[in-house]
């Protein structure tokens, strides 16, 4: 079976500190991606850089902070970015070079099951035709700022969607360190991570570059999404010829995030990562163990509190009493029914509350998000 590799490149790797595209870097990454493509793999590129590429061209002195100015810069920069990629990939392969295709997505696309299935079919056809899909957020229409951060989350969602063999997130650091190596020369690089714990998140830091929006924290969060979907991830540097191939083959300059989980089916992916929860249910320790370790459904007896106004068929988030997210599920109760049934035994619920099913969330409509 042909391997599919998703590669994410951020703004700081593609543009100068002052803004504008760095054509030499784009040519370098095109060469690295072309080598993967010519090895027989299917390659998808998730790219940032539209805003950084466009803000100088549009006349702004610095990267804009107001949403409509960002969107205007992205509208200009997106065309410049795709033109640069098209020209760079034209030097490789036969018959005029490796073809590229632009796909712009928003968070709303992932929240709508039909739209994301259509996007999946489009990507599969492009890969079948040996094209390189180049994916970015549709910054010109996105609301609530540019919501995917530096496209780290987007790359993980795309990796899960196409059931990638590996997600490669390229950054200016050669992996995750125990401390910031720029401040402490004794900091040690973490070679492999099997589980993203609170300790791993706490050392991830948060600062990005002046032209990008992401930091190591957003990359670790992306790796967690990929791992939960059964996709191993790599976060590190690609600076010399052959580095990307080494990263894909397991010998890269960075940190590997391994997973023993299997690919989630599309329905579970949508439920866990794309759906928009309409409320929260807080559960006790017994229900937490049943959901995470026992493979059980959520029953009313384990519920301690209800937040939000949801209805049967809505997606809700389930948290423990410490506020930690355990997972998401499709709820069978309205919020008022769940509130009325909270803490009651099944027999008490039958006597007091009229419900169609006893399970508040059936295990078949549940996805765990906590390790």
Report which secondary-structure segment, H or E, holds 305: strand 303-308
Half-sphere exposure of 90 (CA within 13 A, CB side): 8
Q: Which residues are annotated as a binding site for ATP?
A: 8, 171-172, 213-219
Residues of the binding site: 8, 48, 139, 151, 171-172, 213-219
Q: Dihedrals φ, ψ of 75, to 5°?
A: -60, -40
Task: State the Cα–Cα distance between residues 27 and 85, nearest whole angstrom.
Answer: 8
* Binding residue numbers for substrate: 48, 139, 151
Sequence-distant (6+) residues with CB within 8 A of 294 are none
Rounded Cα distance between 219 and 50, Å, is: 19
Rounded Cα distance, 345 and 368, in Å: 24
By the 10 Å C-beta count (0-12 exposed, 13-18 middle, 19+ buried), 108 is classed as middle
For 30-54, b where at least 16 C-beta lie within 10 A, e where not — what string? bbbbbbbbeeebbbbbbbbbbbbbb
Rounded Cα–Cα distance for residues 44 and 101 (Å): 10
CB count within 10 Å of CB 327 equals 20
């Amino acid at each position: 079976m042909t391997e599919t590799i998703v590669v994410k490149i951020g703004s700081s790797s593609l543009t100068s500190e002052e803004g504008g595209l760095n054509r030499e870097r784009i040519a370098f990454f095109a060469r690295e991606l072309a080598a993967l493509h010519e090895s027989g793999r299917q390659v998808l590129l998730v790219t940032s850089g539209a805003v950084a590429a466009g803000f100088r061209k549009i006349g702004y002195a610095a990267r804009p902070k107001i949403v409509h100015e960002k969107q205007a810069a992205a509208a200009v920069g997106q065309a410049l970015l795709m033109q640069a990629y098209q020209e760079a990939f034209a030097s490789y392969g036969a018959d005029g070079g490796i073809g590229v295709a632009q796909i712009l997505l928003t968070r709303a696309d992932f929240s709508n099951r039909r739209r994301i299935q259509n996007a999946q079919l489009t990507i599969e056809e492009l890969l079948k035709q040996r094209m390189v899909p180049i994916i970015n957020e549709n910054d010109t229409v996105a609301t609530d700022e540019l919501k995917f951060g530096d496209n780290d989350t987007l790359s993980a969602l795309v990796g899960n969607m196409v059931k990638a063999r590996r997600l490669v997130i390229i950054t200016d650091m050669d992996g995750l360190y125990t401390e910031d190596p720029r401040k402490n020369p004794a900091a040690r690089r973490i070679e492999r991570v099997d589980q993203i714990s609170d300790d791993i998140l706490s050392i991830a830091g948060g600062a990005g570059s002046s032209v990008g929006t992401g930091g190591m924290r957003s990359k670790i969060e992306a790796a967690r999404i990929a791992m939960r979907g059964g996709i191993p991830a790599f976060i590190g540097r690609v600076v010399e010829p052959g580095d990307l191939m080494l990263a894909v083959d397991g010998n890269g300059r960075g940190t590997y995030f391994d997973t023993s989980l299997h690919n989630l089916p599309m329905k579970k992916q949508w439920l866990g990562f794309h759906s928009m929860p309409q409320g929260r249910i807080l559960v006790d320790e017994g229900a937490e163990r049943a959901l995470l370790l026992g493979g059980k459904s959520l029953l009313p007896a384990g519920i301690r509190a209800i937040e939000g106004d949801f209805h049967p068929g809505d997606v809700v988030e389930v948290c423990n009493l410490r506020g930690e997210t355990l997972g998401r599920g499709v709820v069978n109760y309205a919020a008022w029914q769940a509130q009325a049934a909270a803490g009651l035994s099944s027999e008490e619920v039958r006597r007091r509350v009229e419900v169609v099913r006893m399970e508040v969330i059936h295990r078949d409509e549940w996805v765990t998000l906590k390790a």
